[in-house]
């Protein structure tokens, strides 16, 4: 049966702002308090989705969340009407209001981990929502994420959903950003590659010194168990703690894989030779030919990789089997990175073309092309079971663009977060969106 990789991009929410909320994420910290444009951010994301759809790739949309999250603010002791909750939080604890107002669910590579049906014991596609418990503003995403995923992938004959892992740092889980799947073709059993930053229970694994390692080995192992993955189809690797300390807060900031290819920085992992050999052997036993494309530190240093987001690219297989890399504009602006990319595509390797997208609004919070998408490999019958409302078509693109133009603000500063009207605008927009995407009731304001 034919199978596809479908990219579900996060639609940027109406409260997109620069809160400086992610310690260890260089862009988030350095753009703290800058004025954002939610409208521009959403339109930049939609333009990428449209371009991929027009290139013939299957493209889906993942809905944003209700923000500010008044349920979270109430749980922290703010009371009264919704407007009063927001005003009290603005007055007494602005950092909490900023955290509860983040549009961070746009980075759907962190929504969950997905295992395609060819890899799982029960032959269903498995989803585990990520607890994202390293950062408060992200830890509040998973309940709504689970409802949205449930409304998109509803058929229990094809799709199995698992709740987020226990919300403690020992099981810190950041979802697909630290997970890659290698395969000969999307419908065949593959090898799932889990990358962790530290171990919670085994002190033999070194931890970074400066910035937090968000993903633990124990979280990766729990997800592999929940999904019913066979040991022969799993490889674990530790991210190099030294690169976490240079701002590589997720593995997808330093490597990306697709099909039989891993595109990675020389310093991405610990025990690189062992990891690559295991990937090679395990994929080989699944009938595939693993191929690593290593970017040497002399060509591109870790600092350039973090600044340009070279590895936060989408590596896509074109109809003729060759690969295309979708990179952010920042790669073209970085001389060393751009020179490297020219060389890479001129060689006889698997990556033949580079396409550049302007995603500056998201990039300023540390979210590149790969952060904005959740990959789900689906067989034809599974794709037919997906809620058709979330699959991008030219008509849906038009509707969503008009919806953004109608509901989103042109600019948002920290002071604007104190305005209770922003919540009203967000709810009005999302109520309409659930009808456009045919999601039913998924938001707290729709179900409480």
Residue 102, C-beta contacts closer than 8 angstroms, at least 6 positions apart? 15, 17, 19, 21, 67, 137, 138
CA distances from 146 to 40, 112, 237, 245, 427 (A): 27, 9, 27, 31, 19
Give the pair of three-digit tokens for residue 393: 């078509």
Using only C-alpha atoms, what is the Rg of the chain?
21
CA distances from 404 to 37, 250, 411 (A): 12, 29, 13
Binding-site residues for substrate sit at: 19-28, 110, 137-138, 214, 252, 365
CB-wise, 99 or 160, nearer to ligand SUG? 99
Of 186-205, binders to ligand SUG (CB under 6 A) are: none
Task: List 317's β-bridge partners, or say none.
Answer: 323
Of the residues 16, 158, 227, 250, only one is catalytic, namely: 250
Of the candidates 14, 233, 367, 369, which one interacts with ligand SUG according to CB under 6 A? Answer: 367
Q: What's the rounded Cα separation, in Å, for the pair 323 and 295?
A: 16
Kindly state the helix (H) or strand (E) to which residue 282 belongs, with its residue range.
helix 272-285
Phi, psi of 128 (to 5 degrees): -120, 115
Of the candidates 195, 256, 371, 378, which one interacts with ligand SUG according to CB under 6 A? Answer: 371
Of the candidates 20, 38, 45, 60, which one interacts with ligand SUG according to CB under 6 A? Answer: 20
Q: From the CB of 297, what's the least distance to ligand SUG, in Å?
A: 21
28 binds ligand SUG (CB under 6 A): yes
Choose one: 83-91, 255-263, 361-369, 395-403; the region binding ligand SUG (CB under 6 A).
Answer: 361-369
Residue 54, C-beta contacts closer than 8 angstroms, at least 6 positions apart? none
Length of the chain: 448
**Residue 371 catalytic?**
yes
CB-wise, 248 or 437, nearer to ligand SUG? 248
216 binds ligand SUG (CB under 6 A): no
CB-wise, 177 or 276, nearer to ligand SUG? 177
**Residue 329 catalytic?**
no
Q: From the CB of 191, what's the least distance to ligand SUG, in Å?
A: 21
Of the residues 183, 220, 331, 371, only one is catalytic, namely: 371
CB 193 within 8 A of CB 178: no
- How buried is residue 330: exposed, middle or buried, by Cβ count under 10 Å (0-12/13-18/19+)? buried
CB-wise, 250 or 427, nearer to ligand SUG? 250
Residue 351, SS3 per DSSP:
strand
- Omega before residue 68 within 30° of 0, cis: yes
Choose one: 102-110, 143-151, 157-165, 190-198; the region binding ligand SUG (CB under 6 A).
Answer: 102-110
Q: From the CB of 150, what's the least distance to ligand SUG, in Å?
A: 22
Give residue for tokens 């740092």.
169
**Residue 174 catalytic?**
yes
CB-wise, 52 or 385, nearer to ligand SUG? 52
138 binds ligand SUG (CB under 6 A): yes
Of the candidates 107, 194, 263, 338, which one interacts with ligand SUG according to CB under 6 A? Answer: 107
308 binds ligand SUG (CB under 6 A): no
Active-site residue list: 174, 250, 371
Q: Which residues bind ligand SUG (CB under 6 A)?
A: 18-22, 25, 28, 102, 104, 107, 109-110, 138, 177, 249-250, 252-253, 365-367, 371
């Amino acid at each position: 049966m034919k199978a596809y990789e479908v990219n579900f991009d996060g639609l940027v929410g109406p409260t997109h702002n620069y809160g400086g909320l992610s310690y260890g994420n260089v862009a988030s910290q350095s753009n703290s308090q800058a004025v954002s444009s939610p409208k521009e951010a959403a339109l930049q994301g939609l333009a990428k989705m449209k371009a991929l759809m027009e290139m013939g790739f299957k493209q889906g949309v993942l809905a944003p969340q209700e923000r500010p999250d008044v349920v979270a603010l109430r749980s922290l002791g703010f009371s009264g009407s919704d407007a009063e909750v927001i005003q009290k939080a603005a007055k007494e604890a602005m950092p909490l209001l900023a955290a509860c107002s983040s549009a961070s669910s746009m980075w759907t590579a962190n929504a969950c981990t997905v295992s395609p049906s060819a890899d799982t014991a029960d032959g269903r596609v498995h989803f585990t929502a990520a607890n994202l418990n390293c950062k408060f503003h992200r830890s509040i995403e998973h309940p709504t994420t689970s409802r949205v995923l449930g409304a998109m992938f509803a058929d229990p004959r094809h799709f199995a959903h698992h709740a987020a892992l226990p919300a403690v740092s020992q099981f810190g889980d950041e979802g697909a950003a630290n997970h890659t799947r290698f395969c000969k073709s999307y419908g065949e059993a593959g090898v799932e590659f889990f990358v962790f930053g530290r171990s919670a229970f085994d002190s033999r694994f070194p931890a970074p010194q400066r910035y937090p390692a968000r993903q633990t080995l124990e979280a990766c192992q729990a997800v592999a168990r929940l999904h019913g993955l066979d040991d022969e189809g799993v490889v674990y690797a530790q991210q190099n703690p030294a690169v976490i300390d240079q701002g590589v807060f997720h593995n997808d900031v330093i490597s990306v894989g697709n099909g039989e290819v891993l595109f990675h920085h020389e310093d991405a992992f610990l025990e690189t030779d062992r990891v690559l050999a295991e990937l090679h052997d395990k994929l080989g036993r699944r009938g595939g030919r693993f191929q690593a494309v290593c970017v040497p530190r002399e060509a591109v240093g870790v600092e350039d990789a973090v600044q340009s987001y070279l590895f936060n690219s989408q590596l896509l297989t074109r109809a003729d089997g060759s690969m295309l890399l979708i990179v952010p504009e920042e790669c073209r602006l970085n001389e060393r990175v751009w020179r490297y990319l020219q060389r890479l595509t001129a060689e006889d390797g698997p990556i033949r073309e580079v396409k550049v997208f302007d995603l500056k609004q998201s990039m300023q919070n540390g979210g590149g092309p790969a952060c904005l998408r959740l990959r789900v490999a689906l067989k034809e019958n599974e794709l037919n079971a997906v809620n058709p409302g979330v699959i991008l078509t030219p008509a849906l693109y038009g509707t969503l663009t008009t919806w953004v133009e109608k509901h989103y603000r042109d600019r948002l500063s920290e002071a604007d977060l104190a305005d209770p009207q922003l919540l009203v605008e967000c709810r009005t927009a999302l109520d309409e969106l659930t009808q456009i995407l045919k999601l039913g009731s998924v938001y707290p304001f729709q179900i409480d």
